[in-house]
Structure 1
Amino acid sequence: MIARIVSALRNHWFLIGACLLLCTAYFQFFVDRARVDLSITVEKRCYFRLYWAGSDEPFTEQRSVRLLVSPEQRDYRFYFTDLGNVQRIRVDPHDYEGTSTIHRLAFAQPGWTTRRLFGDNGFSALQPLTQIERSAATPDGLLTVSSGNDPTYLYQPQLLPAQWDRTHEAVRLLVMFLLLYGGGLLVGTLGADLDFVPLCLAAMVALILTMAIISSPDVHPDEGVHRKAAAYYQTHWFPPAADDAEVRDTYGPYGNSRLNGREIYYVFAGKFADLLNHFHLPDHLPFRLFNVTMLLALLLLSLPISGMRWMAATLLISPQLWYVFSYCNSDAFALLISIVCCALVADRSSRFNRYLLSGEGSHWFWGPVAGSLVALLLLVKSNYLPVAGFLVVLVALTIWQNRGDLSRRSLMLRLLLPGVIGVICAAGYVSLQWYVNDFALNEKKDALRAELALPLFNPTTPLEKQHPYLSMKERGVTAAKLIHSHRWLEKSFRSGFGVYGHMTVSARQGVYDLFRWLALVLLGAVCVFVLLKGDWPQRGALVAALVVSAALVGASFYHSWTADFQAQGRYLFPLPVMIGAAVLFAKQAMSRRVVSCLLLALFSLSGYSFLVVGLPGMAPIP
């Protein structure tokens, strides 16, 4: 019996370690830290902040939490830090010059008894520090009138040890460990070829459908301009002239219209919405349902196709990747096309590779199908074009691996057919746009931007009067300052792992830290497996993915520095797609159990972010 237990422990060491790690994370994030109940009324959206420190320590951003509060919501609940390490707390009720009222602020943590700051007791425990013109205890709470943008109070908590049923908590942790362990064993059964991915995709579909239905029409990034561009194609088949009066309302604050680009997404979204016209849905919902349907299509493709499951697994690592499927935007379409193309090229057993290497399947079918996908990949957002270049590298590596068994003449024919079809179709669509604009599209776009852009974003406005985030290099902002002072890297990372709405709904810092470490462990594990067990083409594919990804990060940073500072993680979505394709290319070298456990840990955290942060943070339809 003991020998069997030892053998099981030896065979399941990674699973046991992962379960212990998750139980430890649960204890540290939800038990061994204080829960804060806040009720506050503010004049506008702002951040409520709490800082903590010891008796002789300064207050710093590293020891703080912040919560986005708004006039529409009054009650909040979030987590703080371990009260045992706290002797002073700084309370910043708002970050604007004006008034706010704290109705209730209470801390609760197992093992400690604290009194409520506001409510049954008075407000004497809170001492005004800076930029407070007036504070008064009213029947409704603590009224603060600030003289600046940073009013602060000091609170020295009175902590008393309380009885804590540690046995009850130990039993809870044991049950959690057993559930995780049992789930891990199930994953071992379903993880042989990532068979659990369709189940995760089904959960995603349910969540994004909920988001699409309950969220208000204009609470998502740029959805209004995306929807207006797609609405044009409800009644049209061909692109409009840039100066057509009918499309004036599609121009956004920058003086640009999505109809003037080469993205074909709007044609498909518009025609899909037209199909639902007779259902009399709210105006915005048919366009959102098109994106939901795309994720549903990926779910259906992943059921029978192994390579599609491996590529769809990239969506599990971040809620931001599936959040874009819940509202009208072109990122979701580009993401779907990239995943499908990578699945066909990177999976050595795919129909496309069988057609390419052996001619299996008729030319008249697979040539046009692959050519259509090439055309679609060339007609998505510009930041996804590196995926096309990376796929060329994968095709070259596949051919090199099988060079001894290939007929060069037939190979070139099978290779050129989809490439030529794709390039001709994409060029034809772009040429049509230029034709309807009398081959003066760029000139018209420049003139319309000067005419329609808001003054803050208008190129004719003097630089010093433009938005401060435009042309930052020209303003004298150094690259180092952009990274450190403006936190480009951190903002890009956070907005790639669960920032919702107009970059206003975010989780607490601990969630992003956990995302960071889990993602780094997954990337490190992938690199170790490929380097130790993979062959040279597989290593080359991973190196190519990392090099192209680094180049894309550099291009995004350079654009933020020289043109428009928008540190949004969705601009870097091609990174997990390309790295995922490299993993699929080298899947024989992967430890399926390790990859499956890490993917499920990231998906669990993503689900928490979407359910607890994303859905409640979106304003409901009135």
Structure 2
Amino acid sequence: LWAALLFAIMMSGWRALTLYSRNLSVFVRVSMKSADVGTAVLYYDVGRQFNNKHVSTSPVYGDGKFHDVKLKIPFNKAFYHLRFDPPSTSEGEIVVNKVDIVDRYGRILYDFNLSLLKPANQIKKFDFINGNIHFSTDEKANDPQINILVDRPITFNRLQLLALMLTHQVIPEFICLFLICVLLIYVWSRWTDPVIATMVILAIIAAGWMLYNDYNSAYFRLSMKTAVKGEMVELYYDQGYGLSYEDVVAAHVHGDDLFHEYILKIPRGISHLRFDPFMTAGTAVIKKVGITDRFGNPLKSFTLQQMSPAWEIKRFELLDEGVKVTTEDKAVDPQININIDEAWIQHSHPLSLLFVMTTLIEWSLIFALLMFSIYIWKRHKEKMYHFIDGNFFQEKLPVLYLGCALGLILAMAVISGPDVHPDEIGHEHAASYYSDSWLPPSIDDPRMVKTISGFGVSYLFRLDIVYFLSGKVALLLSELVNDNNLRLRLFNVLLFFILILIVTCKIRSAPLFILALVLSPQIWYLFSYFNGDGFAFFIAILIAMQLIYPDSLTNQYLNSVTLRDKVSGGVLFGILVSMLLISKPNYYVYLAFILLIVGWNLFFERGFANWGENRLQIKKGVLITCVALCIYLPLVVYDQYINDFKKDEKISNFVDKHAVYQFKASTVMNAPDDSYPGMSLKFKGVSWQELFLEKSYWRKLSFLSFFGVYGYMNLYADSNYYEMLSIFLFGMVLFIYFYAAYTITPKDGIVLCIVLIFLLLAIGQSTYVSWAADFEPQGRYLFPIIPILLLGLSRLSVVFQKRMIPCFSLILLMFNLTSFVFYALLFIPKIM
């Protein structure tokens, strides 16, 4: 039960932390009608006057009917002044009949008398008629304004809002999760055969998930044709908190002259939709827009008149075959608003007879499949165990799909064009420096300028050994391969090939490392073009191999009876550690984890029973450390020497001299509004909680790019792919969690807790870089968690590693092939 309780606490606590800001949201609600489509804007003064940071927006429908325009404001601030900027009206008038402040449940927190609204700018007429305000804007208005007078600062009772969130969501979710876990544990315990018990649990979870999913989700269906190729359609949905990059689903555009149906999954409780047909100039024809259930049964139909141009739309024409949309010539984000009426908002969760019948049919099919699976298992249990434990599943099949992965990596390296991968040109310039040099350059070396990016930084600033090694390998390959870019890509392909060779040599004891190599298509992508992260990941996996394989050179040395016996293992481990020290800094957390795990293995698991043996292990640790420092320290000292021991100061001056204006540190300090929006968010006043917890954009993009985003973060799979993958990953993690809770010893439990802490530290360091330096939510910065996970999973039983881990690897392989073949290789710009 402790595992169920801990799981319920973690899940409900995490949801409370991440949804805290949303659940405590408050809104200025303006009930209004307008004949013109536009955007309403609210400026709120929290003691710093009106500014562009403290602003909220919401779309206004131009259908001449009253709608609630909800403008989100922070719940934890005091408001001294409010200003409402209505959309400009070319004809007709705008009518406002109510203004108040409400919470997310619609409870009124503050009510404004309409007499407190005063025209301020570009308002032509402003009359009170039958208790409503009727006004219009100037003919050439571009910034109409209405002040909302506030006689005293407006504040909200945070404890009351928090109590409401706890009673309405957090506590009920915790109770439900705990009871569900207890029920599943009870059901699982009723069967002596763990496989049948697992089948029953999976059937119950599947039935419950389908019910939950069908009740809370709907499917936006749109038929569209366009000749634009290689783009994505995006659908933004507003759940009552405003449109944001967090609430969006996407699918790839079919670039031909035929109508195709696009199906995008959305929540049911939405108040507004915005459809972005593509991100460039072009033409599309849209017809048959609606919302259905999973089986295509209509829930809501839209007339084409309910669609209206919002941004960068040149022409919007109603034709017989549909709406013809032509975007502006230089469009980068064309947008179309889709009007949702109040009836759908209020009744989007109907419990119809069709819904009940569909659910019963689904449950019947799940039950039938369960019975059939149990029958097959009982009849062929020994054969299945023999197949899973046999040579083909354990040895031949992994070699086949690792070879397939290598082929796909090589294909990407050969066919993809130059400068289509993240920062590859900068990495190539850094490696090319070492083609005719043996020592790192000083910051004021004239050749350094050729290697910098628009940020004014160079990969040669760091002592990254990969550029030296790749530069020399590329020089060796110069007689065989003419293209320097391809030579450097082949260096990374070679690293992946070496990992495959090592795994193949120990294939029976390598299920964890096979899992590491097929965990994500992003790993394959990392080794398909030249970068600095592939080598660091390569070294990290080699270190994990040395610690996990019982017969590795390092373990042979650590288990030897003298300091000199098998000393090559200690030297090898020291070299690997030094290589990682002069590679990517985001792997330093992994090195700290390695230090802790090695210390745990040497002392706590040996029990301090023999001081002489412990003293011997300390000597071995000192020897490994000395080997690592003998490689690391000379390079560091030399690097500081050629920079007059003022390297950081020189880098700062160099960057400020050569960076583009918006990327300069001086711009951030003196004119932050002119600087790149993603730089120095901490300095600009963005809190870490807002970056990581309150907004999900960093978490979402990091997850997507961990499991397959290609090119310059602009090529990715459809939303359905990531949803299915996340469901599988959640189930896999849940399965491992409860298996570990049921089987591991207390010592191994402590190690798994250490693993969890360092996983959080790895995530934390990535968020800190995005917060304090540059906003870069890229999954490759989280790759240190993979070798950390391997060392944690190695604590599970050998039976689990040999039977379950290969099954997980095979399923993940299917996901990887789908993403890498049908999205990465298909859409990556090819070499000319």
Identify the TM-score tier after normalising by the shorter chain: 0.7 to 0.9
- Which of 634, 645, 663 is the equivalent residue of 1:428? 634
Residue aligning to 1:599: 809
Distance 1:523 1:283 in 2: 42
Instruction: Go from structure 1 to structure 2 and tell me whether the alpha carbon gap of 1:15 and 1:124 turns closer, same or farther (over 3 Å shift).
Output: closer
Secondary structure (helix, strand or coil) at the match of 2:249 reads: strand
- C-alpha distance in 1, partners of 2:487/2:204? 45
Matched, 1:330 2:535: no
Q: Is the 8 A contact 2:286 2:322 kept in 1?
A: no
Does residue 352 in structure 1 map to residue 561 in structure 2? no
| Residue 578 (structure 1) aligned to one of 788, 812, 816 | 788
Q: Is the 1:223–1:328 Cα contact (8 Å) retained in structure 2? A: yes
User: Which digits, 9 at most, give the CA deviation of each residue in 1:429-472, with x for residues without a partner?
Assistant: 22222233333322221111011111111112234211111122
Deviation at 1:353, TM superposition (A): 1.3
Deviations 1:559-584 (A, max 9, x none): 22222211111111111220111112
**Percent identity between the aligned chains?**
25
Out of 515, 518, 521, the position equivalent to 1:316 is 518
Equivalent in the alignment of 1:378? 581
Residue among 231, 235, 249 paired with 1:65: 249
1:530-541 equivalences in 2 (<5 Å): 530-541=740-751
Structure of larger gyration radius: 2
Match of 2:735 in 1: 525
- Within the candidate set 233, 242, 255, 2:434 is matched to 233
The size of the alignment, in residue pairs, is 591
1:298-329 alpha-carbon deviations (Å, 9 max, x no partner) = 00000123565423422322211221111111
Cα distance in 2, alignment partners of residues 195 and 312 from structure 1: 12
Distance of 1:105 and 1:272 partners within structure 2: 56
Corresponding position of 2:167: none
Q: Scaled by the length of structure 2, what TM-score is found? A: 0.61
Q: Quick one: distance in 2 between partners of 1:423 and 1:362?
A: 21
Letter in 2 for 1:376: M
Q: Is the 8 A contact 1:384 1:574 kept in 2?
A: yes
- Tell me how far apart the structure 1 counterparts of residues 413 and 258 of structure 2 sit (CA, whole Å): 24
Between the aligned partners of 2:224 and 2:416, the Cα distance in structure 1 is 24
Match of 2:598 in 1: 395
**Distance in structure 2 (CA, Å) of the matches to 1:329 and 1:203:** 22
Aligned pair partner of 2:650 in 419, 434, 444:
444
Aligned residues of 2:426 and 2:451 also touching (Cα < 8 A): yes
Deviation, structure 1 residue 52: 11
Distance 1:457 1:64, change over 3 A: closer
**Residue 100 of structure 1 aligns to which amino acid in structure 2?**
G
- Cα gap change, 1:207 to 1:99, in 2 (>3 Å): closer
Give the distance between the partners of 2:296 and 2:520, measured in 1 at CA.
Answer: 35
C-alpha contact 1:303 1:309 (8 A) present in aligned 2? no
Q: CA deviation at 1:608?
A: 1.3
**2:733 partner amino acid:** L
Q: For residues 577 and 73 of structure 1, what CA distance do their matches in structure 2 show?
A: 47
2:337 equivalent among 152, 160, 172: 152
2:758 is paired with a residue of what secondary structure?
helix
**For residues 413 and 480 of structure 1, what CA distance do their matches in structure 2 show?**
44
Distance 1:206 1:521 in 2: 30
Q: What secondary structure, in the 3-state scheme, does the structure 2 residue paired with 1:477 have? A: coil
Map of 1:369 onto structure 2: 572
Instruction: Show the 5 A alignment for 1:368-517.
Output: 368-400=571-603, 401-402=605-606, 404=609, 407-461=613-667, 462-464=670-672, 465-483=674-692, 484-485=694-695, 487-517=697-727
- SS of residue matched to 1:277: helix
User: CA offset at residue 9 of structure 1?
Assistant: 8.5
Deviating more after overlay: 608-617 vs 311-320: 311-320
Structure 1 residue aligned with 2:226, among 12, 22, 40? 40
Secondary structure of the residue aligned to 1:297 is helix
Per-residue deviation, 1:477 = 2.2
> 1:621–1:154: structure 2 CA closer, same or farther, 3 Å change rule?
farther
| Aligned positions of 1:604-615 closer than 5 A | 604-615=814-825
Unaligned ranges ≥5, structure 2 = 1-190, 342-360
2:451 is aligned with 1:250? yes
3-state DSSP of counterpart to 1:470: coil
1:102 aligns with 2:284: yes
Q: AA paired with 1:150?
A: Q
**Quick one: distance in 1 between partners of 2:336 and 2:511?**
51
Q: With a CA cutoff of 8 Å and minimum separation of 6, indicate the structure with the bigger relative contact order.
A: 1
> Matched residues in 2 for 1:487 and 1:471: separation?
17
TM-score, normalised to structure 1, is 0.80
- For the 8 Å contact 2:463–2:583, the answer to whether it is kept is yes
Distance 1:334 1:76, change over 3 A: farther
Cα offset, 1:282, TM superposition: 2.6
Q: Which amino acid aligns with 1:151?
A: I
Cα distance, 1:194–1:59 mapped onto 2, change above 3 Å: farther
Match of 2:235 among 24, 46, 49: 49
The answer (yes or no) to whether the contact 1:129–1:152 under 8 Å persists in 2 is: yes
Q: Can you give the 5+ residue segments of structure 1 that lack an aligned partner in the other structure? A: 1-6, 118-122, 157-165
- Give, as a single letter, the amino acid of the residue that structure 2 aligns with 1:92: F
Question: Which stretch of structure 1 is more off in the superposition, 308-317 or 355-364?
Answer: 355-364
Q: Assess, with a 3 A threshold, how the Cα gap between structure 1 residues 155 and 611 changes in structure 2: closer, same or farther.
A: farther
Kept in 1: contact 2:254–2:260 (CA 8 A)? no
CA distance in 1 between counterparts of 2:202 and 2:485 reads 43
**Distance in 2 between residues matched to 1:567 and 1:88, nearest whole Å:** 29
Question: Which is helix-richer, 1 or 2?
Answer: 1
Structure 1 contact 287–328 (Cα < 8 Å) conserved:
yes
Deviation at residue 65 of structure 1 after TM alignment: 3.1
CA deviation after TM superposition for structure 1 residue 39, in Å = 3.9
CA distance in 2, matches of 1:320, 1:229: 23
After alignment, is 382-391 or 132-141 more displaced?
132-141
Secondary structure (helix, strand or coil) at the match of 2:315 reads strand
State the shift of 1:352 in Å: 1.5
Q: Deviations over 1:501-556 (max 9, x none)?
A: 11111222232223223223333333333333223332222111111111222222
C-alpha distance in 2 between matches for 1:355 and 1:87: 62
Partners of 2:444 and 2:653 in 1: CA distance = 9
1:350–1:531 Cα change, 3 Å: farther
1:314 and 1:52 map into 2 onto residues whose CA distance is 38
Question: SS where residue 543 of structure 2 aligns?
Answer: helix
- Return closer, same or farther for 1:52/1:189 CA change in 2, 3 Å cut-off: farther
More strand by share: 2
* Counterpart residue type for residue 371 of structure 1: G
How far off is 1:18 after superposition? Answer: 7.2
Partners of 1:531 and 1:12 lie apart in 2 by 19
Q: Cα distance, 1:339 vs. partner?
A: 0.8
